[in-house]
Chain A
Amino acid sequence: DGGITQSPKYLFRKEGQNVTLSCEQNLNHDAMYWYRQDPGQGLRLIYYSQIVNDFQKGDIAEGYSVSREKKESFPLTVTSAQKNPTAFYLCASRRGRLNTEAFFGQGTRLTVV
């Protein structure tokens, strides 16, 4: 089945450590996105990529980094510079045209301990 796979579903990190969240899609979509979700704040865009080897910052990119070396993969690294990383992270992909919907993964819940 085609879809988006995020792993792991739950992740615990000690303060000061970097951690990488995985996102893989087999939908052959050009565009991929990372969102952060906090209670009462909706989804806020962290980074997005419209083609391989290119990506742009979203509204809350500070403390995060991404890469897009393959069309299928768009990993997100939460660095120690991110002051409040505990959140639910969602990855999405899209065919790349404005009138198309985004497809979402099941999310990764990151907790800093």
Chain B
Amino acid sequence: AQSVTQLGSHVSVSEGALVLLRCNYSSSVPPYLFWYVQYPNQGLQLLLKYTTGATLVKGINGFEAEFKKSETSFHLTKPSAHMSDAAEYFCAVSEVATGNQFYFGTGTSLTVIP
């Protein structure tokens, strides 16, 4: 079965600092990759996705992620953290072998320190 690993269940950064949230997947065939954000007691909102083409993907709110096949990674970054970025972030994958299912990582809670 597909596995998605998010290293670091809690990440803290200072306001204005670089945000780096890590995501690795386990698949011999590159899956489709997604990052979602969740604010307290709400559903998930798509930040960005990688399907095909350019490996550096830009999303909403200044976030971007780079697909690296050799490292089986899809890390999420933002150059300068804002207080409003404090939330839970989930990496997800979708591939043929899982029959149209989405598999999510366990999430990373981002705290932004003023």
Contacts and interface: CB of A to CB of B under 8 A. Distances in A.
Interface string A89-113: 0101010101101111111010000
Contacts of B104: 35, 42-43
- Interface SS, A side: strand
Interface residues of A, number: 29
A56 B100 CA distance: 11
Contacts of B32: 98-99
22 contacts: A31-B100, A40-B107, A41-B106, A42-B105, A43-B44, A45-B103, A48-B100, A92-B102, A94-B100, A98-B94, A99-B49, A101-B34, A101-B49, A102-B44, A102-B102, A104-B43, A104-B45, A106-B43, A107-B41, A107-B42, A107-B43, A109-B41
B66 interface: no
A69 B111 CA distance: 42
Interface in B23-54: 32, 34, 36, 41-46, 49, 51-52
